């Protein structure tokens, strides 16, 4: 009986050591990347490593992946071979799309086309007003058209000390895509008006002429004819852009902040459907609410007054989703094929909670992924059978996909593998030790 108890005790010690070692292995051996999935039928695969400081990615019809960096573009062929296809120290690439054998991207104030086969880089549009606070244009291709975002130059329409770019561009300010009238309200010690350069006053009834392209807008570019026009305006800072299965354009938009000569306190981030020719309210509305509503203050508890007279629309469209805080919603992707379950599910990265959420058709929010690393999620896109997620800080591109019932997901596989390896190792060590002890007794 005592021998049986000893055997059970020793076996228990071996199992406990194996479990402890498995925990250590999974914490340190697999520490290069890990995420927590909240859906049992989902798993993830690491696709590419070593892409630190990448800015965006896209795929062609042959499954080749193109990865952009600040001043270069790398291709990873389907067979795994990777190399640079474009390198130019003058470039500043942030967002990139593939269409019919060419890559399209915005660099600073220019829209470029790069023909992959003949390696020809062509400037197809210039004078994009990307001089201000939100100068990273996002592009999205749909049915032969490029949709290009142009952010606001300022927080809320007024140039001030918070706009550090004035040292290099002292006469820059927000440009309006359509003619507007000002109320003549000026802000700060310098009494600076809206839509004028720093230290310049505005007067009541002042007309600000239209400029194409303008700030806080989305423009559309015809890839066949080269025609271009304003698609929508009054949109402060788009951080994510995608189409659903019904060709509706949705965007994540950053709210106004409590800073500058016209600080706004109480704002949030939003997800909007962006429709052609609509004005979305910036800088006098946010989230469909007027800036003079009790929801907003100037940071000192005072009411904020509108700067525009005769608004293009006194009831700008409301968002379909509103976050709790500003600087919360980052990139966005729409599951137009139902790849992860729900057709047209809206997936976005929450920069505060370090998680990817699903906003479904009924506008119910569900956490899908929690990132465990010190990450920087730069871009998310659906491609074929998964949601691809780019972490530019850790240099990782991975895909989240559905697994069939009974399939062991990635982390369970690692746990089982680690447990078996440690169990075998401890058993071998134990048998060797007991064998040596037995020989000494003989």
Give pLDDT tens digits for 306-338. 999 999 999 999 999 999 999 999 999 999 999
Query: Worst-scoring range by mean pLDDT, 165-169, 208-212, 341-345, 372-376?
Result: 372-376
Q: Strands 180-182, 207-208: parallel, antiparallel or unpaired by DSSP?
A: antiparallel
One domain, residues 192 and 153: yes
Query: What tokens does 106 get?
Result: 């915005």
pLDDT band at 423 (very low <50, low <70, confident <90, very high): low
pLDDT band at 374 (very low <50, low <70, confident <90, very high): confident
Q: What is residue 361's predicted lDDT score, i.e. its pLDDT?
A: 87
Q: Name 106's bridge partners.
A: 111
Between 420 and 287, whose confidence is greater? 287
d(CA 86, CA 67): 11
Is pLDDT at 167 greater than 90 in this prediction? yes
Q: Regarding predicted confidence, which is higher, 143 or 5?
A: 143
Separation between Cα atoms, residue 280 and residue 242, nearest integer Å: 18
**pLDDT of res. 33:** 64
Task: Tell me what the mean pLDDT of segment 374-402 comes to.
Answer: 95
Q: Which two tokens stand for residue 223?
A: 């890839």
- For the chain, the domain total comes to 2
Where a domain ends, among 299, 326, 353? 326
Q: How many CB atoms lie under 10 A from the CB of residue 427? A: 13
Decide if 91 is inside a domain.
yes
- 383-387: long-range pairs with CB below 8 Å, 24+: 383/59, 384/339, 385/339, 386/45, 386/339, 386/340, 387/333, 387/335, 387/339, 387/340, 387/347, 387/356
374 within some domain = no
Q: What is the pLDDT at residue 184?
A: 98
Q: Are residues 20 and 66 part of one domain?
A: no
Domain that holds residue 62: 55-238+253-326
Quote the mean pLDDT of the chain.
Answer: 90
Task: Give the separation between CA 56 and CA 162, rounded to whole angstroms.
Answer: 28
- What average pLDDT does this structure show over 375-399? 96
| pLDDT of 415 higher than 70 | no
Is the confidence at residue 103, as pLDDT, over 80? yes
65 and 212 together in one domain: yes
- 339 falls within a domain: no
10 Å CB burial of residue 379 (0-12, 13-18, 19+) is buried
For 205-253, write each residue's pLDDT tens digit. 999 999 999 999 999 999 999 999 999 999 999 999 999 999 999 999 9
Q: What is the pLDDT of residue 357?
A: 98
Whether 15 is covered by a domain: the verdict is yes
Provide mean pLDDT across the span 374-390: 95
Q: How far apart are CA 308 and CA 331, in angstroms?
A: 30
| pLDDT at residue number 408 | 47
Same domain, 298 and 434: no
The mean per-residue pLDDT over the stretch 379-399 comes to 96
pLDDT tens readout for residues 283-299? 999 999 999 999 999 88
> Per the structure block, which two tokens stand in for 151?
């952010």
Same domain, 94 and 157: yes
pLDDT band at 422 (very low <50, low <70, confident <90, very high): low
The overall pTM is greater than 0.85: yes
Question: Is 399 inside a domain boundary?
Answer: no
**Confidence at residue 426, expressed as pLDDT on a 0 to 100 scale:** 58
Q: Which of the four pLDDT bands, split at 50, 70 and 90, describes residue 372?
A: confident
Token couple for 252: 């994540």
% of the chain at pLDDT higher than 90 = 79
25/111 same-domain check: no
**Are 83 and 191 part of one and the same domain?**
yes
> Measured on CA atoms in the order 161, 166, 170, 172, is the torsion positive or negative?
negative
Residue range 57-75: average pLDDT?
A: 98
Mean pLDDT of the 26-45 span: 76
Is the pLDDT confidence value at 434 over 50?
A: yes
pLDDT of 54 > 70? The answer is yes
User: Of 304, 326, 348, which one is at a domain's C-terminal end?
Assistant: 326
73 and 160, same domain (yes or no): yes
229 falls within a domain: yes
Q: What is the mean pLDDT of residues 127-154?
A: 98
Same domain, 118 and 205: yes
Nearest to 332 by CA among 377, 277, 394, 384: 377
Identify the pLDDT of residue 88.
Answer: 97
Same-domain status, 196 and 294: yes
Across 335-344, average pLDDT: 95
Asked whether residue 110 is domain-assigned, the answer is yes
The torsion angles phi and psi of 196, rounded to 5 degrees, stand at -135, 165
Q: Omega before 199 cis (within 30°)?
A: no
- Residue 300: the pLDDT is 86
Answer yes or no: do 12 and 60 share one domain: no
Percentage of the chain exceeding pLDDT 70: 84
Asked if 9 and 94 sit in the same domain, the reply is no
In-domain check, residue 127: yes
Last-in-domain residue among 326, 342, 369: 326
């Amino acid at each position: 009986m005592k021998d049986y108890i000893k055997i059970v005790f020793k076996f228990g010690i071996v199992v406990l050591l194996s479990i402890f070692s498995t925990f250590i292995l999974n914490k340190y051996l697999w520490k290069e990347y890990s995420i927590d999935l909240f859906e049992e039928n989902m798993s993830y695969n690491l696709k590419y490593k070593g892409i630190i400081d990448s800015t965006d990615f896209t795929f062609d019809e042959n499954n080749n992946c193109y990865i952009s960096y600040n001043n270069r573009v790398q291709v990873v062929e389907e067979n795994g071979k990777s190399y640079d296809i474009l390198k130019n120290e003058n470039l500043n690439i942030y967002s990139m799309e593939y269409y019919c054998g060419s890559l399209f991207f915005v660099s600073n104030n220019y829209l470029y086309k790069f023909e992959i086969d003949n390696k020809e880089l062509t400037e197809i549009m210039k004078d994009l007003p990307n001089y201000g606070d939100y100068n990273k244009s996002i592009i999205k291709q749909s049915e032969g058209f490029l949709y290009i975002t142009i952010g606001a130059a300022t927080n809320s329409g007024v140039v001030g000390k918070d706009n550090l770019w004035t040292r290099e561009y002292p006469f820059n300010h927000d440009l309006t895509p359509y003619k507007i009238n000002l109320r003549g309200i000026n802000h700060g010690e310098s009494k600076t008006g809206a839509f004028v350069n720093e230290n310049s006053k505005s007067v009541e009834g002042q007309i600000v002429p239209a400029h194409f392209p303008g700030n806080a807008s989305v423009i559309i570019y015809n890839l066949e004819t080269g025609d271009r026009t304003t698609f929508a305006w009054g949109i402060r800072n788009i951080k994510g852009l995608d189409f659903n299965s019904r060709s509706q354009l949705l965007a994540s938009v950053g709210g106004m902040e409590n800073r500058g000569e016209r600080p706004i306190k109480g704002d949030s981030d939003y997800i909007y459907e962006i429709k052609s020719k609509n004005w979305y309210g910036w800088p006098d509305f946010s989230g469909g609410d007027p800036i003079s509503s009790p929801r907003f203050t100037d940071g000192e508890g005072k009411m904020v007054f509108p700067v525009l007279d005769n608004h293009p629309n006194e009831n700008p469209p409301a968002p379909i989703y509103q976050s709790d805080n500003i600087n919360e919603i980052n990139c966005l992707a729409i599951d137009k094929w139902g790849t992860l379950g729900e057709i047209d599910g809206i997936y976005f990265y929450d920069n505060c909670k370090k998680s990817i959420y699903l906003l479904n058709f009924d506008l119910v929010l569900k956490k899908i992924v929690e990132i465990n690393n010190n990450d920087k999620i730069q871009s998310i896109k659906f491609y074929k059978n998964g949601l691809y997620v780019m972490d530019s800080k850790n240099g990782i591109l991975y895909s989240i996909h559905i697994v069939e019932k009974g399939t062991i997901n990635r982390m369970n596989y690692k746990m089982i593998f680690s447990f078996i390896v440690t169990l075998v190792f401890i058993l071998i060590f134990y048998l060797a030790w007991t064998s040596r002890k037995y020989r000494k007794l003989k």
